[in-house]
Amino acid sequence: MSSSVHVAGVGSTTFGSHPGRSLQSLAVEAARAALADSNVPAHRISFLFVGNFVGGIMVGQELLGPIVAANLGLSNVAAVKVEAACASSSAAVRIGHDLIRAQAEEAVLVVGVERMTGVPREALTAAMTAAIDQDSEANAGLTFPGFWGLIMARHMHLYGTTREQVAAVTVKNRRFGATNPLAQFQKSVSLEEVMTSAPVADPIRRFDCCPATDGAAAVVLTNEALARKCGSPSVRVAASVLLNGPVRIADYREITIHDGTINAARRAYEKAGVGPEDVDVAELHDCFSIAEIVDSEDLGFFPKGEGGANLTQKPSGRNTKVVINPSGGLLSKGHPTGATGCGQLFEIAMQLRRRHPNQVPQARLGLTHNGGGTAAAVTVHILEALR
Amino acid sequence: MSSSVHVAGVGSTTFGSHPGRSLQSLAVEAARAALADSNVPAHRISFLFVGNFVGGIMVGQELLGPIVAANLGLSNVAAVKVEAACASSSAAVRIGHDLIRAQAEEAVLVVGVERMTGVPREALTAAMTAAIDQDSEANAGLTFPGFWGLIMARHMHLYGTTREQVAAVTVKNRRFGATNPLAQFQKSVSLEEVMTSAPVADPIRRFDCCPATDGAAAVVLTNEALARKCGSPSVRVAASVLLNGPVRIADYREITIHDGTINAARRAYEKAGVGPEDVDVAELHDCFSIAEIVDSEDLGFFPKGEGGANLTQKPSGRNTKVVINPSGGLLSKGHPTGATGCGQLFEIAMQLRRRHPNQVPQARLGLTHNGGGTAAAVTVHILEALR
């Protein structure tokens, strides 16, 4: 016996800089918005998951489950923090989904939250490095810009991907972000600006990187009966997958191929009974511009090595109809690490409800892809519009 | 449809000081021991939970789910860290339990781990304070010894609990610890030594406090079919409960009464169809000696205010048969925060399998009580011996 699982409501703060705001205050804002959107009474929530990555390191706050629950007035609930680096809140959604699907819970609230701005860049880089194995590569000096710099150089070398194609990802996502009121960057950039921005980790430049972001996003998941009782169920979770992948460079069979993403996507497509060609809109984990190219290939939207050429085309000019990161993605909407997974689900839910500022016409099937570490923890969610 | 849930195997490192060992190395040692004990092949594990509280703050390591999974050779599993302060790993057990019970998973591995030694006392106190709300009481200077000092003073004031009765808890648990090879403190102390130890937060003294501890413990949970296939199922989970309670002093109706514990215990007894009088052995959260008194009352072993007098009696001298903290408890076995919940389940499983160094004769029903914050996240597990 299993129940279908519904996204009954979503909520979000703006993504950007929120000086003076605590994790709990941001989380509560997003959670209240999601509860109001869902029409599910707070007392029906039996499990609260808070997705958060570096709350301990950045602001010295843990125990966010019970603290956020208390601030929401939820008593006698199970409340925990789930951490899977930048995939923390979508990993929590996977657990909540499974509990509802198996009829262990009726309604679950998942809130993702992070505070990242207002600290020196070195402190932020050090905090992010908590997602690299301290027993090996982190102690050797590896950082995420460094790792993705290696991946970008190798992708260009192996497949002939050009510097312009990679920069075009940022240009596209900045253009989308400019018309998303939740986005951190509301201003377009030119190809020239991306390619001449300050070097970070060769060949990666500043505008190839997502920003440091504060923000929170929340999702209310329910079974079908409650979704129906509280309103008209409009968004169904067709697949919710979390899988691990390699955690060290030495363990990748090839650094431009991310098995965490490939395996999670394969399982998600199987569960949903669809293929990548059926996906209308996707929010994927473009922490760096090259990441959107790698991910779009590993998700099956384009053959390996052809992501660069394809991403610069309009959907009408290629075999795949998917529109990628119309939110602006991590590059432009921003990347409050622990909140990003729920933020992506917020975006796709809005697309499927036809209420998105950058609406993909006729969007019926949406996908999110969220990665912790470099595809060390990968979630893929497939959402379906019901009407 | 639901399955019964079994503790198929347990494993643990020694609790104490493990200089130079990483979180992942300790976690892997405990996990491998639990897998070997369970006889469940590693490839049957589909979900890995790592319970950890201050890995980010203390050693800058997050993403422990995928990292520990990789070190265990587990691929294509869902792997996350669960955090609920000092109740992190037992909270993870609750989630794993629910997934198996609802038949969403067949076998789940939960590992709790912490590194706490080798840093200045101030740094450790600051790290622990991550479990206090930074928006209110933590910023006002509250610490856990401070909070429990208030509770102890008030318990003595309201109920006539004596300084000797509180100290006797430490004496009892140190005596148990002296014969538990996993325990951090292997040496008995006298009532006099406890009562004249250095003041910490009046009336709490040094020997009223649990130590800083490194360690890891792990539990393999399976459904009945797999437990049967891999061996003889010997320990069944009769109840697994996680509930939140107040997170700020201002929110307690009375600081000597912990509703998080009361409500979690009530629900656990209901689920298991037993009462506190049926429990043979309990491992409860004695982070301070006074905590064992408060918890034993809130768990229903003694009426409120009578814990002090009762704990100094032998079980034969009171109405309740329960033996409390024969492991030595947090006070003597040690308190590697994120590992403590799994460590308690390790102890109770060994009791029910009649393999404990401080064996409670005829132990058939065991209980664990684990608290994050000050009963802000509370788990109660009831385990039953099958024979």
Q: What confidence tens digit (pLDDT) does each residue in B207-231 have? A: 999 999 999 999 999 999 999 999 8
Decide if B46 contacts A98 (C-beta within 8 A): no
Tokens 């004695």 correspond to what residue?
B286
Is residue B342 part of the annotated active site? The answer reads no
Q: What is the pLDDT along chain A (387 residues), one digit of tens a residue?
A: 688 999 999 999 999 999 999 999 999 999 999 999 999 999 999 999 999 999 999 999 999 999 999 999 999 999 999 999 999 999 999 999 999 999 999 999 999 999 999 999 889 999 999 999 999 999 889 999 999 999 999 999 999 999 999 999 999 999 999 999 999 999 999 999 999 999 999 999 999 999 999 999 999 999 999 999 998 889 999 999 999 999 999 899 999 999 999 999 999 999 999 999 999 999 999 999 999 999 999 999 999 999 999 988 877 778 789 999 999 999 999 999 999 999 999 999 999 999 999 999 999 999 999 999 999 999 999 999 997
Q: Which residue of B has its CA nearest to A126?
A: B60
On chain A, the residues whose CB falls within 8 A of the CB of B69 are 244
SS3 content of chain A, % helix, strand, coil (to 5): 40, 20, 40
On chain B, the residues whose CB falls within 8 A of the CB of A103 are 102
Closest partner CB to A134 (pick from B59, B74, B132): B59
User: Of the residues B18, B86, B97, B369, which is catalytic?
Assistant: B86
Question: Which amino acid type is present at position B253?
Answer: R
pLDDT of residue B272: 98
Quick one: residue A210, left, alpha or beta (phi over 0 = left, psi -120 to 50 = alpha)?
Answer: beta
Average pLDDT, chain B: 96
Decide if A49 contacts A110 (C-beta within 8 A): yes
Q: How far apart are CA A55 and CA B285, in angstroms?
A: 25
Q: How far apart are CA B168 and CA B356, in angstroms?
A: 23
Q: Which residue of B has its CA nearest to A242?
A: B78
Chain B: give the shortest CA distance to residue A63, in Å. Answer: 5
Measured over the CA atoms of residue A170, residue A115, residue B336 and residue B248, the dihedral's sign is negative
Q: Cβ atoms within 10 A of the Cβ of A139, count?
A: 12
On chain B, the residues whose CB falls within 8 A of the CB of A373 are 63, 66
pLDDT of residue A159: 98
Q: What angle in degrees, to the nearest 10, is found between the helix axes of A144-159 and A163-177?
A: 120
Q: How far apart are CA A9 and CA B329, in angstroms?
A: 44
Q: Which residue of A has its CA nearest to B134?
A: A61
Chain B: give the shortest CA distance to residue A311, in Å. Answer: 29
pLDDT of residue A314: 79
Closest partner CB to A83 (pick from B22, B62, B101): B62
Contact B129 A60 (CB under 8 A): yes
Phi, psi (deg, nearest 5) at residue A240: -140, 110
Contact A135 B24 (CB under 8 A): yes
A-interface mutation test, from B23, B67, B267, most A Cβ less than 10 A away: B67
Q: What angle in degrees, to the nearest 10, is found between the helix axes of B144-159 and B121-128?
A: 70
Contact A62 B83 (CB under 8 A): yes
Q: How far apart are CA B136 and CA B157, in angstroms?
A: 27
Size of interface A-B (CB pairs under 8 A): 207
pLDDT of residue A344: 98
Q: Has residue B167 got a pLDDT over 90? A: yes
Chain B: give the shortest CA distance to residue A197, in Å. Answer: 30
Chain A: give the shortest CA distance to residue B66, in Å. Answer: 6
pLDDT of residue B316: 75
Nearest to A264 by CA among A282, A241, A246: A241
pLDDT of residue A319: 77
Contact B81 A77 (CB under 8 A): no
On chain A, the residues whose CB falls within 8 A of the CB of B131 are 62-63
Q: Which residue of B has its CA nearest to A100?
A: B102
Closest partner CB to B75 (pick from A25, A56, A244): A244
Confidence of residue B318 (pLDDT cuts 50, 70, 90): confident
Nearest to B238 by CA among B349, B92, B105, B107: B349
Tokens 């009352």 correspond to what residue?
B297
Chain B: give the shortest CA distance to residue A372, in Å. Answer: 7
On chain A, the residues whose CB falls within 8 A of the CB of B377 are 63, 65-66, 79-80
On chain A, the residues whose CB falls within 8 A of the CB of B142 are none
> pLDDT digit string (tens) for B118-143?
999 889 999 999 999 999 999 889 99
pLDDT of residue A317: 75
Contact A54 B53 (CB under 8 A): no
On chain B, the residues whose CB falls within 8 A of the CB of A105 are 98
Average pLDDT, chain A: 96
Closest partner CB to B242 (pick from A78, A129, A132): A78
Closest partner CB to A85 (pick from B62, B129, B251): B62
On chain A, the residues whose CB falls within 8 A of the CB of B130 are 56, 60-63
Contact B80 A78 (CB under 8 A): no
Q: Which residue of A has its CA nearest to B60?
A: A130
Closest partner CB to A243 (pick from B78, B84, B373): B78
Angle at A159 between CA A154 and CA A161, to 5 degrees: 85
Contact B62 A53 (CB under 8 A): yes
Question: Whole-model pTM?
Answer: 0.98
pLDDT of residue B320: 85
B142: helix, strand or coil:
coil
> pLDDT digit string (tens) for B342-375?
999 999 999 999 999 999 999 999 999 999 999 9
Is residue A157 part of the annotated active site? The answer reads no
Closest partner CB to A79 (pick from B77, B103, B244): B244
pLDDT of residue A253: 95
Q: Has residue B5 got a pLDDT over 80? A: yes
Contact B78 A376 (CB under 8 A): no
Q: Which residue of B has its CA nearest to A83?
A: B81
> pLDDT digit string (tens) for A227-276?
999 988 899 999 999 999 999 998 999 999 999 999 999 999 999 999 99
Q: How far is the CA of A162 from the CAs of A71, A157, A201, B240, in angstroms?
A: 50, 9, 17, 55
Contact A91 B80 (CB under 8 A): yes
Q: How far apart are CA A249 and CA A306, in angstroms?
A: 23
B-interface mutation test, from A23, A49, A83, A379, most B Cβ less than 10 A away: A83
| E strands in A17-98 | 47-51, 78-83
Closest partner CB to B134 (pick from A60, A95, A247): A60
Contact A130 B60 (CB under 8 A): yes
On chain B, the residues whose CB falls within 8 A of the CB of A24 are 133, 135
On chain A, the residues whose CB falls within 8 A of the CB of B132 are 63
Confidence of residue B279 (pLDDT cuts 50, 70, 90): very high
Of all helices (H) and strands (E), which one includes residue B297?
helix B289-298
C-alpha A261, offset from chain centre: 13
pLDDT of residue B360: 97
User: Of the residues A18, A285, A335, A381, which is catalytic?
Assistant: A335
Q: What percent of chain B has pLDDT over 70?
A: 100
pLDDT of residue A357: 98
Chain B: give the shortest CA distance to residue A254, in Å. Answer: 17
On chain B, the residues whose CB falls within 8 A of the CB of A76 are 243-244, 263
